[in-house]
Structure 1
Amino acid sequence: MTDPLSNVLQFADEIREQAVEGERITRLTDTNAKRIREAGVIRMLQPKEFGGLESTPREFAETVMGIGAVDGSTGWVSGIVGVHPWALAFFDDDAQKDVWGQNPDVWMASPYAPMGVARPVEGGYRLTGRWLFSTGNDHCDWVMTAAMVGDDDGNPITPPRSIYVLVPKSDYTVDHDSWNVVGLRGTGSKDFSITDAFVPSHRTIESNSLLEGNAWKEKGREEPLYRFPFSCIFPLGITSSLIGIAEGTLACYLNAQRDRVAVSGVPIKDDPYVLSNIGAAAAEIAASRAAMLENVDRFWDLTNEGKEATFEQRAVGRRTQTAAAWRAVRAVDEIFARAGGNSLQLSLPLQRFWRDAHAGLAHAIHVPGSIFHASTLTEMGGDPQGPMRIMI
């Protein structure tokens, strides 16, 4: 059976070298994109009928972690773009054929935030808007994004209604100057805009159908992979890449510090204070990994038993995922603080891991407040409403 992670890791040294150029050009290099494409990483959650592997969520998470430990941006693109085939599995068959009919390795960008307006017309919608943070767009031929349904004047209707739409690259324009950031520079998470593009109805799906876990029923998909909760699978690639970045930070530190002697003249190997703190950081990263994988295994077992996760279970799962991300990045800070002044050199990779980790933590999926609130309130018998239910 195809093992995407092994396929990628045989090129680990090359990916690390290419990461430097990816930072400069603010996107994955063609070589790194080629490596994860040919390895089958982006087909892991793709339906088998369209050349996908239908891997388990745990296998996907472990693969993204492994790639993130080599290079943060390559792992980030793998985790985010890699989830989109799972979502496309719920669209009309004709939409899936539009994307994968000629080539199962076609990629889709995002984001899922409804930053545009879709005005209903005969046979579909006219779509206009500008979307931010479209990871990996340079290497994608489609975007899967969200829009608010509008009225005849292009204003969002009331009550609000959101849909996901598929748009080919010929219908949108990427702003190549929009991604000049401090971390995850190589992800190419650029803005794109659409002006009055026609989107046929078969390339749309109701957002709530996916978010609330009803899409598999409406589509008639019985495979456990597609009955898996959206609120677990969507954050999975993002947080897994972040944990991989933390693991890469630790590995980079250990490799650089083996023979280092501090200005005091004491070899790092003989400094009990440094070793103790690095050991504690390593334990925290390992705990983050274990929590993330236990979380995904728990939901996978539930799904395999034919059960649907309750809101409380999903909220607690999101709490676990979010906490794992914060724990991992705190550990990265502990490592970086003990790496010495040379760690600041842009010519060395440790500072890039540190920057990438903080950039990854800034993703909306890692905001803890409402998630921690909702999970605790639910466990106390309460019923969170409104914003407290978003992305759970």
Structure 2
Amino acid sequence: MNNSTATESFSTDISAPDRDTLVGRAEALREKLWEDAEESDRERRLTERAVSGVTGAGLMRLMTPKRMGGYQADVRTLLDVATELGRGCPSTAWVTGVLNVGNFVVSLFPEEAQEEVWRDNPDARTALVLGVPSRAVEPVDGGAVVSGEWAYASGSLHCEWVCLLVALGADTPQPHFALFRAEEVRVKDTWFFTGMRGTGSNTVVADRVFVPRHRLLPYLPVRNGEMDGLVDADNLYRNSMTGVFSLGLLGALIGGADAALRYVREKAPTRPVAGATYANQAESPTTQLALTEAATRIDTAELHARRIADTVHRHARAGRNPDLLTRARSRMDAAYVAQQCREAVDVLVTAYGSSAFHESNPLQRIWRDINVGSRHAGFGMGIPQQLYGRALVGADPRQISVLV
């Protein structure tokens, strides 16, 4: 599961970066990620060059505490970096987002666990799976013995640690994060999906693995932002979890949709309009209107994603948690972002024409990536709409889902 050292990387100075610097590093990777995206799609895993490039640029340290060698960046930086990476390869952006959010959760564990993860490697990466908690948990002295399977483990092929949800407790089991070393679990090859193939989101299997107590963390306080006193005083945004998980994914969708828009715009002056007298697609009002619609949808998606980030940041800096209505709205915002990105790409491939679906055309890969990624469980099944509607009438959305 660990990423081996690549023969080629995009080495970058990683000292004291601000947001603009980090986004600039992501932009510098875009062309190489674009070149490798086809191979990542074909092999169902990111290329070693892509992983080492993102890691070497320090972009796996975004959510790692400063005292552990990380950047302790804000969530807007996470979103903007993932968006820029998504313009090169949505799968790479998705994995980068997931691994950074995994590191965010590790930063809430006891210091002993953080030392284990980052003491010898500040670039250490943590895959996070928010799946159904395993019931095969046996409490023992000093911790618990865990068995089970967790599907959709994005980043599991490129991590040193894995963070999974387990149900812990005798009478009324409660969800806990359990932190495993990568070598303690097995990855079952199950990611045979049409899109986001490069994420390698396979199934993680644990077979009677002992997890010490310091690597077990109650989930509900993290969800509710009730971590006061357990986090760095200068890192207040960590006291509010609303939207953090979704922001690790949304940048990949926004960036991918924007890459499709750029591609169609660039090709329009040289592409014919079948059955018409226009010299090229750029002259056709139909194409112009399609580009307008797609660009507006992508702008709308980005504005809503930034509202999630700004909401997290504003409440955290004020030292207070957002109320349930705000949290439910952020779930709805995330679902709306995913929908806008998907619909924008649909408009673009239609405007481009049927050759968008030729296997050699990158549009068909982006179309597959966005259509799969936008249907992630966090965005789909009508649950975000139900949560927000319930909150709007004063009811508790947590009666529907714990992910709010």
Say which of 22, 40, 45 aligns to 2:63: 45
Q: 1:93-137 CA deviation, whole Å, 9 max, x = no partner? A: 110111111000111112122342321001111010011111121
Q: Secondary structure at the match of 2:151?
A: strand
Instruction: Tell me the residue number matched to 2:248.
Output: 237
Q: 1:280-309 CA deviation, whole Å, 9 max, x = no partner? A: 111111111012112321331222122221
Q: 1:313-369 CA deviation, whole Å, 9 max, x = no partner? A: 111122122112112211111111111122111112111110000110121110262
Instruction: Tell me the residue number matched to 2:176.
Output: 163
Q: How far 1:239 sits from its partner (Å)?
A: 1.6
Instruction: Tell me the residue number matched to 1:277.
Output: 290
- Structure 2: how far apart are the matches of 1:82 and 1:249? 25
Structure 1 residues not aligned, in runs of 5+: 151-156
Q: How far 1:253 sits from its partner (Å)?
A: 1.6
* TM-score in terms of structure 2 length: 0.90
Instruction: Tell me the residue number matched to 2:6.
Output: none
Say which of 309, 319, 336 aligns to 1:306: 319
Q: How far 1:234 sits from its partner (Å)?
A: 0.8
Q: Secondary structure at the match of 2:176?
A: strand
Q: 1:128-163 CA deviation, whole Å, 9 max, x = no partner? A: 00111111212111101111126xxxxxx5423111
The answer to whether residue 120 in structure 2 is matched with residue 108 in structure 1 is no
- Structure 2: how far apart are the matches of 1:359 and 1:185? 9
Instruction: Tell me the residue number matched to 1:85.
Output: 103
Instruction: Tell me the residue number matched to 2:221.
Output: 209
Say which of 149, 158, 162 aligns to 1:143: 162
Q: 1:15-36 CA deviation, whole Å, 9 max, x = no partner? A: 1111111112111110000111
Q: After TM superposition, list the pairs within 5 Å mapping 1:371-382 onto structure 2.
A: 371-382=384-395
- Structure 2: how far apart are the matches of 1:22 and 1:66? 18
Q: Secondary structure at the match of 1:364?
A: coil
Instruction: Say how many residue pairs are matched.
Output: 383
- Structure 2: how far apart are the matches of 1:142 and 1:299? 26
Instruction: Tell me the residue number matched to 1:154.
Output: none
* Residue identity (%): 26
Instruction: Tell me the residue number matched to 2:10.
Output: none
Which structure is higher in helix share?
1
Instruction: Tell me the residue number matched to 1:129.
Output: 148
Q: After TM superposition, list the pairs within 5 Å mapping 1:90-101 onto structure 2.
A: 90-101=108-119
Instruction: Tell me the residue number matched to 1:317.
Output: 330
Q: 1:225-283 CA deviation, whole Å, 9 max, x = no partner? A: 44343231111111222111111111122122231112224210111122112211111
Q: Is the 8 A contact 1:18 1:32 kept in 2?
A: yes
RMSD of aligned Cα (Å): 1.7
Structure 2 residues not aligned, in runs of 5+: 1-15
* TM-score in terms of structure 1 length: 0.93
The answer to whether residue 271 in structure 2 is matched with residue 260 in structure 1 is yes
Q: Which has the higher mean CA deviation after the structures are superposed, 61-70 or 260-269?
A: 260-269
